[in-house]
Amino acid sequence: MPFFSEIGVLHLIVYIPYYYTVLCKTQFLLVSHTIQLSDNRPVMVIFTENRTEKMNSLFHRLHLEGRHLNKLKTADVHQLSAHSLQSHKESCAEDELIQTYIQKLLMMDYRARYIKTKETNEKDHTQQSANDSSEIEGDIFKEMNFSNEATSQSDLIHPMDVQMGVFHCADGFLKQLMVTKLSQCQYALPLLVPDPFTQQIEFPLWTFRQINKSWKMTNTNNETISQTQPIYKAETPMVSFFRFGSVSSSKSQLMNSLINEKHNTFFHRNCPGSSRTRVLIDGVVEIAWFCPSGTVDDKFTDCVAFCNLHGDAGDHEKQLQILTEMASVNVVLLPQLDRNDRNAAKIQNLYKNRKPLICLFTEDVSAATETRKGKYKIGLKGRNQSDVSEELRKTINDCLSESSSTFRLENVSKLSDIRVDEENDDDCRRGREAAKQMMSLLGKKDQTEIKELFLPHQGKLWQQWSQKNKELHRLRGDEIEMEISRKQTEMDQIRQQQHESDISEFIKLFIKEMNSDASNKMIFLKWLRILLDEHTSAELRDLHNKYDEAWSNILKLKEKEDKSDLKAQKQSEFERITEELQDANFGLEHIMREIGQIYESCSSVKENKKDLQIDFSSLPSLAAEMMISGFPLELMDGDAAHVPMIWISAVLDQIIQKLGDQRVFVLSVLGIQSTGKSTMLNAMFGLQFAVSAGRCTRGAFMQLIRISDEMKTQMNFDYILVVDTEGLHALELAGRSIRDHDNELATFVVGLGNVTLINIFGENPSELQDILQIVVQAFLRMKKVNLFPSCVFVHQNVSDVTAGEKNMDGRRRLQETLDEMTKLAAKEEVCDAESFSDVIRFDVQKDVKYFAQLWEGNPPMAPPNPNYCENIQELKKTIMSHASKSVKMTMMLINRQTQ
């Protein structure tokens, strides 16, 4: 090496590109090695390893090779597999990291982000065991000497690399599902994401489209105001955090103390599973929102967005520029101020900017100081974390009170030089335009008029037909044939009226889009659902406020035992608001209900409608495609409380034609209104049944869950049909016969399911007794027609699910109540039964589950309780145990049972 020998320096740094042919803009990772020259002078040679090679290694270890091109789909994760039944509490094999992460995330288990690999744990344990010595005395200077070598910790895959690896390899649907679940786990969401291979910055607006946030504020009159908004439309102040250089304090950990002290909203260096190396998270901007609860404990009085730029801001100029422009307040972490620092100009520009700036110095000990108007410094060195957080929170609040600027997520798409997922995906763009075209027809019409104008085949005509059909099947033995004939004639006339009704342009556009050969039909459906929710959200919010106020007034009058006309007037007003609330609900289910009624009317008169551009016989195929693609379909109309059997039968026939007569296990759920039935199913299977107060389930919906090939041989069935139902004792049915409605619903749900989950919330004895009598009566009716379904009782929100004695006592009391209810129900059904075990095969030890409360703390900032997720996993195993022993059903048999 003559070149080296001529340089008379102690150390020499030589750069040797690992892959010399890579483009200049490719990022490199430095790897150092020390070599000796012939004259014994040490030389450090730094090899530059291609960052792409590092990423390829990561994707290989995660078994995601090629998946950034051949994307993961929701169908890949929305299936029941043997792996999904396993409980991975802390660790799993490296090749199972992705599966385990997705499984836990879909269950809303926030520990998904902290999964470790078993191989590393075992290796560390082996190394420790090898160092053990039988000698009592040892040499501390020999055995605990310092080392600068990287340990096995550096070989760990960083948890955020797992998350971002899935994100980069997921298609649009799976990304949206993933981000929605991250939001439910109260985690920060990716806002600006550099492509790992091209470094092009993407704004994934599509992934935010299904996220709603709720919060409460106190206005100047000291009144509490509730807000629920799609998060992409919410206008809030925004606080951005970034750092320059290497700092000793964790920026993300400091942000967590501002948002939620008990939960790691942003991943930081001290989180479980964190490692030295990370490949995919630097340059990513994450966003989270603080949502106040309207109490004195709120850290901020309004909803505030917090943005976090990962990595050194000096290396990510575009992200820094975007954040500083959008923010209401900028917060920067620095080790110290140095005019010769490479980022000095950027820091100076921030200080000159008119926006408030808070500088956090990791090597300074000073308290919060305002150096000039809107410019603050706070020292972090050696200071109590709680004191720093309180000072920072107060300073941010002071800055926000002086600032009027707000941030709106949707506006990020207007920035230049960034890629917006919705704009760059042709299918997504076409689907959005088709949905917008439909929505433009609704205009600014009143919500209560929309159904009557655009959905004429349902409403009064369908409800009249349903009522007459019920009367026809409830005829007493002494009613004459003439009465039966008269009712059938009336029903035929109603069908004729339906058939003569015009199809609205709104529905024509829907049928045209769904009947096209376009590949974006499912994206169109997603867009339509999003835009319909957006269209109705404001009016629903206002009506819910009126509903809550009217109900509160009635309760106050009841407490006073008021029997005046005022109480009757308030009751009448409450019922009117209730009807308006139901009319204002307008979703995809109402459109499909209209399609179903068009089909039923055409089928009844055996003639195509004049303004229907396709043959009516092809309509069920559209619904079948939706179900196969993972969309739920309305099984029982919640407004008419009736099953459109002609339509449902035709849809199931089409599913059979498309999939074959598959073996199906039917899981249904029954329980009091607003007790978490839909939430339970969503967590169990990663579904997205409506769970918000404004979109409570009405009627019943069914959704198909595919069984993995490995599980098919074990379980001997191909699909799970999940049936989600409206709650018993619905308040909006207060003026009708609640008991008859609940009995009909319970009989239908129990008769359809192989296993019915009986959901019980809290420990109210009267509510428990009411629902059990309805359930027992339904099972007695099944026995009469030789159907033998089974059930599992889920007792939710139990304070201490680990208390064995308490649970044993609870099971005993439940068994006694079931036996008592069986005797009462047997008298009404005129049959012999002394105990619940006479009606159904039931094991009170195995078939009663106690669930922890859903939230770990108080909403809106509380994440789901991990113990709840564990309870969900145990329940899923119990259900599969029942499934392995149940009588196998096929699609064709289900079709017959619905009839």
pLDDT tens digits, 473-523 = 776 665 677 888 888 999 999 999 999 999 999 999 999 999 987 678 899
Q: What is the reported pLDDT for 732?
A: 55
Residue 39 pLDDT > 70: no
Element counts in the chain: helices (H) and strands (E): 30, 28
Q: Is residue 860 reached through a cis peptide bond, with omega within 30 degrees of 0 on the bond before it?
A: yes
pLDDT average, residue stretch 576-594: 86
Q: What is the reported pLDDT for 830?
A: 81
pLDDT average, residue stretch 29-44: 40
In terms of pLDDT, which residue wins out, 820 or 894?
A: 820
CA pair distance 48, 42, nearest whole angstrom: 19
pLDDT category of residue 3 using cuts at 50, 70 and 90: very low
CA pair distance 233, 215, nearest whole angstrom: 14
Q: What is the reported pLDDT for 825?
A: 84
Q: Are 355 and 337 in contact (CB under 8 A)?
A: no
Answer yes or no: is 299 within a domain: yes
For 551-560, the CB contacts below 8 A with 24+ separation are 551/731
User: Is 457 exposed, middle or buried, given 0-12, 13-18 or 19+ CB atoms closer than 10 A?
Assistant: buried
CA pair distance 513, 441, nearest whole angstrom: 15
Residue 155 pLDDT > 50: yes
Q: What is the reported pLDDT for 492?
A: 94
pLDDT average, residue stretch 329-339: 92
Domain span at residue 234 reads 188-422
Q: What angle do CA 401, 405, 410 make, to 5 degrees?
A: 135
User: How far lies 231's CA from each of 85, 290, 403, 863, in Å?
Assistant: 33, 12, 21, 17
Q: What share of the chain in percent tops pLDDT 90?
A: 47
Number of domains in the chain: 1
pLDDT category of residue 34 using cuts at 50, 70 and 90: very low
In terms of pLDDT, which residue wins out, 722 or 10?
A: 722
| Number of other residues whose CB lies within 10 A of the CB of residue 584 | 19
Which residue is listed with tokens 């910790």?
Answer: 153
Pairing outcome for strands 189-194 and 201-203? antiparallel
pLDDT category of residue 703 using cuts at 50, 70 and 90: very high
Q: What is the reported pLDDT for 36?
A: 42
User: Is 727 exposed, middle or buried, given 0-12, 13-18 or 19+ CB atoms closer than 10 A?
Assistant: buried
pTM: predicted TM-score of the whole model, two decimal places: 0.88
Answer yes or no: is 326 within a domain: yes
Residue 397 pLDDT > 80: yes
Q: What angle do CA 293, 296, 300 make, to 5 degrees?
A: 65
Give just the sign of the alpha carbon dihedral 56, 61, 66, 69: negative
User: How far lies 488's CA from each of 468, 501, 638, in Å?
Assistant: 8, 20, 23
Q: Which residue, 267, 62, 88, 86, is CA-closest to 170?
A: 62
Could you tell me where the beta strands, DSSP code E, fall in 291-384? 304-312, 329-334, 357-361, 369-372, 375-379
CA pair distance 76, 97, nearest whole angstrom: 15
For residue 561, the Cα-to-chain-centroid distance in whole angstroms is 43
Q: What is the reported pLDDT for 144?
A: 67
Q: What is the mean pLDDT of the chain?
A: 84
Token digits of residue 834: 């002394």
Q: Are 523 and 427 in contact (CB under 8 A)?
A: yes
Token digits of residue 336: 């110290």
Q: Are 267 and 113 in contact (CB under 8 A)?
A: yes
CA torsion, points 52, 55, 57, 61, in degrees to nearest 10?
Answer: -160
Q: What is the reported pLDDT for 691?
A: 63
Widest distance between CA atoms in the chain: 118
In terms of pLDDT, which residue wins out, 479 or 97?
A: 97
pLDDT in tens, 782-836: 887 777 888 999 988 876 655 566 678 888 888 888 898 888 888 887 888 888 8
Q: What is the identity of the amino acid at 251? A: K
Answer yes or no: is 7 within a domain: no
Q: What is the reported pLDDT for 193?
A: 97
pLDDT average, residue stretch 454-469: 91
Give just the sign of the alpha carbon dihedral 396, 397, 401, 407: positive
Answer yes or no: is 228 within a domain: yes
Residue 589 pLDDT > 60: yes
Q: 202: part of which helix (H) or strand (E)? A: strand 201-203
Q: What is the reported pLDDT for 114?
A: 92
Answer yes or no: is 511 within a domain: no
Answer yes or no: is 234 within a domain: yes
Pairing outcome for strands 755-761 and 719-725? unpaired
In terms of pLDDT, which residue wins out, 381 or 48?
A: 381
Residue 585 pLDDT > 90: no
Lowest mean pLDDT across 104-118, 403-417, 785-799: 785-799
Residue 42: strand, helix, or coil: strand
Task: Write the secondary structure of 238-291 as one string of H (helix), E (strand) and C (coil).
Answer: EEEEEECCCCCCCHHHHHHHHHCCCCCCCCCCCCCCCCCCCCCCCCCEEEEEEC
* The total number of residues written for the chain in this structure: 899
Q: What is the identity of the amino acid at 822? A: T
Answer yes or no: is 890 within a domain: no
Token digits of residue 318: 């575009």
pLDDT category of residue 44 using cuts at 50, 70 and 90: very low
CA pair distance 504, 617, nearest whole angstrom: 19
> What is the C-alpha R_g of the chain?
31
In terms of pLDDT, which residue wins out, 456 or 810?
A: 456
Q: What is the reported pLDDT for 773?
A: 82
Answer yes or no: is 55 within a domain: no
Residue 184 pLDDT > 90: yes
Pairing outcome for strands 201-203 and 224-230? unpaired
pLDDT category of residue 346 using cuts at 50, 70 and 90: very high
Q: What is the reported pLDDT for 83?
A: 83
| Number of other residues whose CB lies within 10 A of the CB of residue 650 | 22
CA pair distance 463, 582, nearest whole angstrom: 14
CA pair distance 122, 696, nearest whole angstrom: 48
Q: Are 261 and 102 in contact (CB under 8 A)?
A: no
Task: Report which DSSP code applies to 25.
Answer: T
Which residue is listed with tokens 């608001």?
Answer: 577
Q: What is the reported pLDDT for 476?
A: 62
pLDDT category of residue 416 using cuts at 50, 70 and 90: confident
Pairing outcome for strands 375-379 and 369-372? antiparallel
Q: Which residue, 757, 768, 775, is CA-closest to 680?
A: 757
CA pair distance 266, 285, nearest whole angstrom: 11
pLDDT category of residue 121 using cuts at 50, 70 and 90: very low
C-alpha count within 13 angstroms, C-beta hemisphere, residue 867: 16
Q: 48: part of which helix (H) or strand (E)? A: strand 42-50
pLDDT category of residue 712 using cuts at 50, 70 and 90: confident
pLDDT average, residue stretch 151-156: 61
CA pair distance 372, 358, nearest whole angstrom: 11
Q: What angle do CA 129, 134, 137 make, to 5 degrees?
A: 115
